[in-house]
Structure 1
Amino acid sequence: MKILIIRAGALGDTLMLMPSIKAMRDEHEVIIAGRSPGIEYLDPWVEKCIDLERGEWHKLYSTHARFDTLLTTPDQVTGFLNDTDNIIRDNLSHLFPGAKIDIFPPFPEPDSETHVAIYMAKAIKSTGIRIDPHAAFYEAYKKPVIRAKTGKGKRIVLHPGSGSIKKNYPPELWLDLLRCIREKIMTTPYEINVLIGPAEEGIIKAFDNNADIYISQDREHLLSILDNTCLYIGHDSGVTHLAAMMGINTIALFRKSRVKNWGPVGPNVKIIEEKDGTKSAQNKTFALVLEIIRQMGDICT
């Protein structure tokens, strides 16, 4: 059966579909419609990726939209979208006559204890697809679901940004962390890199002359960096979720978002959730980094 899944979110939001995709791809032809850059990372595991910001897909949000071309022909459409007025549902029914249409809110309820990946897997199961949500989720915890050849390089990557300033700790924490790591690996072959996304270039000045800086421009560039990374440290961000799903040893710093809903999924993830202050988070991060560096002989060889 050909299934179209619509997920109009950022990188981290989109990656939360990976456990479900891995669980259903052997029995179904899966097409993903979403936003760049998130959908590009799912491309190797789905039949097709569609950018909602190209072609006629923007019409989904318009009342009584009419489409000139039928862009794909799914048997079933599952959307994770805000559609309180049923505008999107009506347009999808017109665009794909005969297809089963199911629309779900993009995220669990605000007070929900359910992880976003499990929430979406349960929604997909409710449409009639044979999938075990919890089994799919915990399988992604046991082994990498994306590009599993990673974790054997000599690179330590720090990613001090995210899609929301509220999630971020100040540059001072990251500069102290840089100094701490540099002292501990001074006589080792490991290198420290700071990864900056295109939307985060404003913080580059804080790291000038303190580390090698990489500005991630596209999917292949980012994957090439992470492919040679043995330790990744970042906020709750799309890149952190990507590193975790690639099996990289990942330390995720959570400040404002909820770990129960958004904890990174992967076999080598450690999470520091600290809402009380930067100093406490800094101390916990330093201790965890030092513990991992002591294990580098096993992690990075």
Structure 2
Amino acid sequence: MRRLLIRPGAIGDCIAALPAMEHLATDHTEAWVPSVVVPLIGFAERVRGLATTGIELVGVGDLEIPAKVRAELQGFDSIVSWYGANRPEFREAIASLGIACEFHQALPGADYRGHAVDFFARQVGTAIGQQPRIALEPWPARDSVVMHPFSGSGKKNWPQARYRELAARLDCAVEWTAGPEDEWPDAKRFDNLKELAGWIAGARLFIGNDSGIAHLAAATGIPTLVLFGPSSPQVWRPQGRQVTTLAASSLDQLSVDTVLAAVNRLLRSP
């Protein structure tokens, strides 16, 4: 069976959905995901960046599905999409192809109180309590702590001055990582998330905000400390073997002393 999985979303959303997507994989699976996530998909026979597929042209007003996109979609026996689930015109256009199709909400609702990984798992009928997995090519082990002081929203960021103070008070080397648009002069940057994951996995500990990179770090299995502000760790706590969270209604309330104590506990752990 040729199956197409269509998964939009931010990095953390897509990582949280990995166990659900893996459960759906067949011997001939193609995945359409955001281009930045493409390197993380190891279970599909073929992976494409969403922006290259033309899927955004499906179900737009009275327009017909473009012939090239229609032909590609009709090459599948089954389509499972987290894209367009809230758009009746998209669902109708896909259904008109005569292919078995399922649509799932791309994110948990505001009143959901479980974990996002379990939310996606239940959608497709697989076991809850799973941890996202990423196939790694780890770098050599380093006696360092990696910090990522950014996220997709300024409200989710612990103040940068406190990250600097924390780094100055640690007794080990600190390495920084940042995205292409983030301003941090001494940060290490990667164009490929799988390469970033391998580099992170070589460190002793990862520290960061509630971000896609924190989900990436947790999925590598490295000890991970995540600082939460307005978002819910109950829903969005990164899943991994060694994840610790600190939460405050406002991240300004989270002191360097509190974070440093948590870091030292993690560094002392076997």
TM-score (norm 1): 0.79
Q: Aligned pair 1:153/2:172, yes or no? A: no
User: Take 1:29 and 1:20, find their aligned partners in 2: how far apart are those partners?
Assistant: 16
Identity over the aligned pairs, expressed in percent? Answer: 23
**SS of equivalent residue, structure 1 residue 229:** coil
Moved more, 167-176 or 99-108: 99-108
**SS of equivalent residue, structure 1 residue 71:** helix
Higher helix share: 1
**SS of equivalent residue, structure 1 residue 261:** helix
Q: Residue 50 of structure 1: CA displacement?
A: 2.1
Q: Residue 15 of structure 1: CA displacement?
A: 0.8
Q: Residues 244-295 of structure 1: CA distance to partner in whole angstroms, max 9, x if unpaired?
A: 0110110011111111211101111111111145243533211111112223
| Equivalent of 2:237 in 260, 263, 266 | 263
Match of 2:44 in 1: 46
Q: Residue 218 of structure 1: CA displacement?
A: 2.5
Q: Which runs of 5+ in 2 are unaligned?
A: none
- What does residue range 68-107 of structure 1 map to in structure 2 within 5 Å? 68-69=67-68, 70-72=71-73, 73-94=75-96, 97-107=97-107
Q: Residues 171-197 of structure 1: CA distance to partner in whole angstroms, max 9, x if unpaired?
A: 11101111121xx23xxxxx3111111
Q: What residue identity is the alignment partner of 1:45?
A: F
Q: Aligned pair 1:113/2:113, yes or no? A: yes
TM-score (norm 2): 0.88
Preserved contact between residue 201 and residue 217 of structure 2 (Cα < 8 Å): no
Q: What residue identity is the alignment partner of 1:40?
A: P
Structure 1 residues 13 and 47, CA, compared in 2 at 3 Å: closer, same or farther?
Answer: same
- What does residue range 171-190 of structure 1 map to in structure 2 within 5 Å? 171-181=160-170, 184-185=171-172
Preserved contact between residue 137 and residue 198 of structure 2 (Cα < 8 Å): no
| Equivalent of 2:55 in 49, 54, 57 | 57
Q: What residue identity is the alignment partner of 1:20?
A: A
Preserved contact between residue 84 and residue 91 of structure 2 (Cα < 8 Å): no
User: Take 2:9 and 2:251, find their aligned partners in 1: how far apart are those partners?
Assistant: 29
Match of 1:128 in 2: none
Q: What residue identity is the alignment partner of 2:168?
A: R
**Number of matched pairs:** 265
- Aligned Cα root-mean-square deviation (Å): 2.3
Q: Residue 79 of structure 1: CA displacement?
A: 1.7
User: Take 2:14 and 2:251, find their aligned partners in 1: how far apart are those partners?
Assistant: 30
Q: Which runs of 5+ in 1 are unaligned?
A: 126-130, 186-190
Preserved contact between residue 32 and residue 48 of structure 2 (Cα < 8 Å): yes
